[in-house]
Amino acid sequence: MEITVKIIKENKDGSADAEVNFDQEGWETLVQWGLVAMIKEGINTYATDEQRAKLVPVIKKKKKKKEVELDMDGRC
């Protein structure tokens, strides 16, 4: 992935005019992260606390399988 930024001109207000070049993978990454950022911002701005709680993934611990000891003849 390649993303390059070349500053063309620095403005008095602290901003700058820049040229941004990227390959296909860089473009896809920028779009994906931009969409993620917009969704997060929308959730933080517009969702209620109740709605936010439903969006948080709940990680449940997997139950451990019981180990079964076998007799020499293969029976439990």
With a pLDDT cut of 90, the percent of the chain lying above it is 45
Find out whether 10 and 18 touch, Cβ atoms under 8 Å: no
In the predicted model, is pLDDT for residue 6 greater than 70? yes
Summarize the confidence of residues 45-71 as an average pLDDT: 69
Which residues, in sequence order, are bridge partners of residue 7? Answer: 18
Residue 42: band (very low, low, confident or very high) from pLDDT cuts 50, 70, 90: confident
Q: pTM of the prediction?
A: 0.50
Residue extents of the structural domains in the chain? 23-57
> What is the SS3 string spanning the chain?
CCEEEEEEEECCCCCEEEEEEECHHHHHHHHHHHHHHHHHHHHHHHCCHHHHHHHCCCCCCCCCCCCCCCCCCCCC
Summarize the confidence of residues 11-38 as an average pLDDT: 93
pLDDT value of position 21: 94
Q: What is the DSSP-derived secondary structure letter of residue 74?
A: S
